[in-house]
Amino acid sequence: THPHTPTPTPPHTPTPPHDTHAHHPMEPDELAEWSEPATLLRRRIHQRPCKSWDEDETLQTIRQFLDLHEPELTAVAPCSEGTGGMWFDLAVDAALPTCLFRADVDALSMSCAHTQPYRSQVDGVHHGCGHDAHAAMLAVALIVIARKHRAQAGSVKQNIRFLFQRAEEDYTAKQGSGGFVCATQDKVCEGVDLAVALHCNSSAASGIHVSPAVFCYSGRKGLATWQSDRAELTVQTLGGHPLTGDADRNALDMIDRVAFEFRGFCDQLRAEQKQQQQKQQQQQQ
């Protein structure tokens, strides 16, 4: 058992008066109940980090946690495994929409800088991006929602697929990132109407000073986070004489021009996305 510092329970925020349909799937007492198990799972994963495409131990740890706290879980949410990860399907009603909840589980190839008792025990591998927290949160959410569904029919309003994804950090692999493999090879997005993901943020790194007793959340519809990708560009020119370099074909100038055009392409994508979101909001109103 690792030393545990109690995690403060976030205060219950009353339902806004103008939103009569808002509800809180987890009450404060439930959050307090899961605080310690979730923290211990996160710290266990933190101690034994796994690099991209080598997350078998992490997935096994998650599965052991689920089996310990909800032995009959797979009876209501069968488990599937593919190249890109492991997922559980909570099928409520085929007529309802299906939502995908996703958490990445891989760690970074870097040294662990902190000295907490639960620091990384694997040299050169560290959960510096928070995927250990993502995995722990999704595991607890899976248990709580599955219990609610089993205890009260109709309490869950949609089908949910809970995905623990490999290799979010490695986009240079030949087969692509874990998300790409999950979508194209494992087909985890087939039949999915909505996908939800989150990422924790370090207040120290962002410069935002937040009290430890306050939980802050922000979200948006549409594309909120972007996976990085890699592009290689080779430019070959005929060259020229040093005395007339400004009149010759300069490879650096060409690369700079391509980079400039690419930034413009990204700006155009963002503008189109914003227009689409505004259109959706107008339609909803």
What is the model's pTM?
A: 0.72
CB 188 within 8 A of CB 87: yes
Question: Residue 206 is encoded by which pair of tokens?
Answer: 């962002």
CB 121 within 8 A of CB 48: yes
Question: Residue 17 is encoded by which pair of tokens?
Answer: 């008066």
272 vs 149, higher pLDDT: 149
pLDDT in tens, 148-195: 999 988 899 999 999 999 999 887 767 778 888 998 999 999 999 999
Closest-CA residue to 138 (of 117, 163, 114): 163
φ, ψ for residue 36, nearest 5 deg: -70, -50
Q: Which helix (H) or strand (E) holds 79?
A: strand 79-82
Residue type, 285: Q
pLDDT in tens, 73-117: 999 999 999 999 999 999 999 999 999 999 999 999 999 989 999
> Quick one: 153 exposed, middle or buried, by C-beta within 10 A (0-12, 13-18, 19+)?
exposed
Q: Is 250 left (phi over 0), alpha (psi -120 to 50) or beta?
A: beta
- Distance CA(25)–CA(38), nearest Å, equals 17
- Distance CA(124)–CA(49), nearest Å, equals 10
